[in-house]
A and B are shown apart, each in its own frame.
Chain A
Amino acid sequence: MTIKTPIRPAAKTISGETEATSPILCFEQVSKWYGAVIGVNQVTLELRGGITGLVGANGAGKSTLLRLATGQLRPDIGQVRVRGVDAWDWTAKRWIGYSPDHDVFYEEMSGFQFVEAMARMFGYDRREARLRTEAVLERVGMAGRSDRRLRGYSKGMRQRIKLAQALLHDPELLILDEPLSGIDPVGRHELVEVFRGLAESGKCLLISSHELEELEKLTDHVAIMARGRIAAVGTVSQIRDLLEDQPIRVLVETPEPRAVGSLLLSWPEVVGLDFGRTSEGDEALLIRATNPRQFFRRFGRLTVEEGLEIQRLEALDDSTQAILSYLLGGPTPSAGITGRR
C-alpha cells in the first residue's frame, strides 16, 4: 500500500542542497525476518513531510519499522532510503534524528553532559556543541534541570532528554518512538506544540505511539501496522472509508428509537440494531451499518422526509482506536449505552 503524504516545501539538507524530488523517507517492498518470524512484511511507504503517526499493537512491527528507518536494522528484502541514500549507510543519518523507546543513558552523566556528548558525536566543535545543547534543552523544557545526574530523572525528563539529543543537528526527519510516554499532561501539551512547530517548519516526523488519543490530536495522518504489514495509511477518515465492508457503529439519540429502527430494518447497509439508554438515561438506538457514506446520505434524507426528531447522531468508530480495533481484531470502544437488541 502506498499513500503519499502531502508535499511540503522542500527542506534544506545539512549540506544546503535542496532535494525536493526525493522523498525524505522511502520504504520499498521492505521485509525483515527475525529467524522464522517476520517482523516487517513487504512494507512500502513514502514520507515527504508533516507528522505521521505510527500505531499498532505490541509486536505489530512498529519498532522494527522505525529501526529500519534509522538504519539500525538492515532489511532482508527491499530498500529503505532517506533522501535517496540507503538508510543502512551511515551518511544517511545526518538527516535523521532518532529518539528510541527505551531510555538507557549513561546514568553518571548529567543531562547536559549527555546531550553535549551526543552533539560532539555529530562532529560539532566544543563551542557549537555547547550552544546547540543549550538550545535544544531550552526547546524541550529542560534548560533549568539539565545539570542533575540522569540517574535522578523522572520518566518524563528522560523522554525530554532523548528528544533533545534527537533535535541536536536540526534533522529533516525525526523518528520518535513513544515520545509522549510517561510525560504529564502539561508536558505532553508542550511537546505536542514542539512537534507541531517542527512540522510547520518543514520537518518530517514519524511518531510511534500507543497514546492514540494524543496522536490523533497531533496528526490525522496515521499508518496502522498489524502483523508486520502496513494495514492502512492515511487520514483517519480515509482509512475508515477503506473499510466499507466493516460495519461502523452509529449512536442515535431519539425519543422514538423503535420507530426509527423499524424504518431502517429494510436497508441493505444496516446489519444490526440495538436499543437501550445512554448513561444519561435518554432513549438511544445503536446502528451497525456498512458503507458509511451511503448510510449517512440515506439517513439524512430519511430524517427530513419522515420528520424524525434526532437529538444526537454520532459515529462511534471514527477514532484511530476503533479503526485499530477493527484491523487488529481487538475490542471496539464502548458505545456507552445499555439495553438489548
Chain B
Amino acid sequence: MADIGRLIVNIKVPSHPKYLSLVRTVTVKVAEISGMPKSVREHVKLAVDEACANVIRHAYRGDPGKSIGLRYEVTEKGFEVVIDDEGRKAELEKIKGRDLGKVKPGGLGTHFIRRAFEIIKFDGRKRKGNRLRLIRQRKDGKWR
C-alpha cells in the first residue's frame, strides 16, 4: 500500500438500484488506493454490491426512497466497510447461501460476501435498522 496512513471515506446513497454502480465505483477506487490487487478488488466490489442489494431488497423491501450509508476505512490492518440502513432488522438465522451444488435462482450473494471478507458481522447495538461490518484483513502489509 502506498503510505497513506489511515483513509476514511463516507458516502450515502439513495436505496435505488441505479446507485449500485456508484457504490461499485467508489468501492473499487478505495480498494485501489489501499493497494489491493485487482483480483481481490473485484471480489470486494461484488461483495459490497451484494450487501447493498440485500439492504434494498430485504431491509427496505424495494423502497427506493430510503438511504444507505457506507463508511470505508483503510488501515495497515485491512479494509473495512460499514454499511448502515434504517430498514427492517436482518433475520440472521435466515441468512445463508444456497448450496452451490443446487441450481436455482438466488442465494449466491452471501457466498460472494464470504469470499471477499474474513469478518462479517452485524452490530447488535444499533437500535433501528442494521449496521453490517465487513473486514478484509492483511498480514504483514500484504492482502490475503
Q: Do A and B come from one complex?
A: no
- Interface, chain A (partner B; CB < 8 A): none
